[in-house]
Amino acid sequence: MQEIGSNHAQSLGFSTDGFATTPTMRKMHLIWVTARMHIEIYKYPAWSDVVEIETWCQSEGRIGTRRDWILKDATTGELIGRATGKWVMMNQDTRRLQKVSDDVREEHLIFCPREP
């Protein structure tokens, strides 16, 4: 699921470094880190089943962002799972959490609606 989230971020034009960073974030040595994740699997896919995954992010106030996933059986459309993850901003050098600055918010969180 994290790889899908990374692919989604890259498709929006963010960096390919694995951290979905913007130019301002790189200049300030900031990265996104997972603070918590909740996963619910209703039915495990069988070998060779194709799973369709939909993902989106939402702004979470001044401290970070939330990413959600829906997993479906690609053949039947049946919902087989869902997940949500809370991401916070961290300074790469100090390893301390940091509030999302207005500059970063303008670059990054415009792609994260308040509601899906």
61: left (phi > 0), else alpha (psi -120 to 50), else beta?
A: left
pLDDT over threshold 90, residue 114:
no
pLDDT tens by residue, 60-89: 777 788 889 999 999 999 999 999 999 898
* CATH for the stretch 2-111: 3.10.129.10
- H-assigned helices in 1-116: 2-11, 23-27, 102-108
The reported pLDDT for the residue numbered 33 is: 87
Domain ranges of the chain: 2-111
3-state secondary structure of 87: strand
* Arithmetic mean of pLDDT, 15-40: 81
